[in-house]
Amino acid sequence: MQVIVVGGGASGLVAAIVAARKGGTVTIIEKNNKLGKKLYLTGNGRCNFWHEDLNINDYITSDKEILQSIIATTKNKVLPFFTNLGLVYKVINGYYYPFSNQATSLINALTRCLETLKVTIKLNEEVLTITKEKDFTIQTNKDIYHADKLILAGGGMAAPKTGSTGEVLTLASKLGHSINKVYPALVSLNGSGKYYAIWDGVRSETQVTLYIDNTKIREEIGEVQFTKTGLSGICIFNLSNYVTPALIQNKKVMININFVPWFKGTPQEFKKWLDSVASKNQAFPLGYILEGFLNYKISNLLLKLIGADAKTLWSSCNQEKLLNLLFSFPFEVTSTNSFEKAQVSGGGIPLSEINPKTMESLKCPDLYLTGEILDVTGFCGGYNLGFAWMSGLNAGEGCCQND
């Protein structure tokens, strides 16, 4: 059984190993000069490759039931797969990393296994066209190949410098698949406010809540990065997964920022607390009081927005407006950053076009689809690699199941 895997990234490497173990004669065609180029960047080089309680709520997809069935049947196979390769891992707050803290450990474990299994690896070869008659004919910039089974593992469109530029989606569409709109996800957000120059560079523990057309969608607490064009950081990345589909439909996308998430009471109770701080330190201007709990750039911004300055007294400022801004600063999202800056892409081939047990296409027999080309987008925490491994395991097994 000749199996060709297009794309030597996360899902392709796993699919190739499993297919070779099942007796397939496997070739990986990868356009980069090395395998797993994107994997080196994951988790800031540490590779957050899995999450302790990975489940359906950690993903956005057009087909929740199908994804649920993939998770249910395959989730328990992932860690044994890596353990069998000799990878030792550690778990920090539910996030899994190689014990070495280096993505290289995981990539080397995969590539050494491919060598042992005598998988043929074609680097610097880009697949240009695929046709299917009795078998598949795959034309690259260097050669022509034939395969009984074909696994498309070419990734989505995020971080195109790592090789995932979306052409495999086009190849899949020529083989009969539809593509749900592909958009940048896990990405920073832009707004239209005039105040970004003031908060640029701040990193602050903040609560952010996403509203689409006034409906609350998701809330995050953690470090938010304030940038020249808007907001960034893991909390914002998680909110970003919902943004493009909403903006395309002309929906209003708002993030309310709570700058005082450590205060567990109401704004009125916070007012009493500020009253007492001000009364104990009567000489203190408002600037001093705010700097007790806020980054000074944020404090300067809030003062400007209420028409005050650092010397204004608490008793003489617009207290209601200040409290509103502290608890619920309105940030209107106008766009996301581009694919170049995104960690993943949303959208892709709908799961309804594959058999979830094998990842085989329902549109083109003997074709298998894995990873980010499918319409499955995880939040931060190891879920995107999680889906790459699960879909790769199913495809590798599925394509050689009769051997």
Ligand X SMILES: Cc1cc2nc3c(=O)[nH]c(=O)nc-3n(C[C@H](O)[C@H](O)[C@H](O)COP(=O)(O)OP(=O)(O)OC[C@H]3O[C@@H](n4cnc5c(N)ncnc54)[C@H](O)[C@@H]3O)c2cc1C
Residue ranges binding ligand X (CB under 6 A): 6-12, 29-32, 37-38, 41-43, 48, 126-127, 153-155, 158-159, 162-164, 167-168, 343-344, 371-372, 382-385, 388
Cα(87)–Cα(105) distance, rounded to whole angstroms? 7
Cα(92)–Cα(96) distance, rounded to whole angstroms? 7
- In DSSP terms, which residues pair with 137 in a beta bridge? 131, 146
Distance in Å, CB of 37 to ligand X, minimum? 5
Q: Please identify, using beta-carbon distances, which residue of 12 and 346 lies nearer to ligand X.
A: 12
Q: Please identify, using beta-carbon distances, which residue of 199 and 237 lies nearer to ligand X.
A: 237
Q: Which amino acid is at 176?
A: G
Distance in Å, CB of 291 to ligand X, minimum? 34
Distance in Å, CB of 33 to ligand X, minimum? 10
Q: Please identify, using beta-carbon distances, which residue of 129 and 266 lies nearer to ligand X.
A: 129
Cα(324)–Cα(172) distance, rounded to whole angstroms? 50
Q: Please identify, using beta-carbon distances, which residue of 136 and 329 lies nearer to ligand X.
A: 136
Residue nearest to ligand X (CB): 9
Q: Which residue has the tokens 């490497």?
A: 13
- Please name which of 323, 38, 274 lies closest in space to residue 160, comparing C-alpha atoms: 38
| DSSP for 307-330, written as a single string | T--TTS-GGGS-HHHHHHHHH-EE
**How many C-beta atoms surround the C-beta of residue 393 within 10 A?**
23
**Phi first, then psi: what are they for 205, rounded to 5°?**
-65, 115
Q: Please identify, using beta-carbon distances, which residue of 30 and 63 lies nearer to ligand X.
A: 30
Q: Please identify, using beta-carbon distances, which residue of 153 and 326 lies nearer to ligand X.
A: 153
**Phi first, then psi: what are they for 98, rounded to 5°?**
-60, 140
Distance in Å, CB of 82 to ligand X, minimum? 13
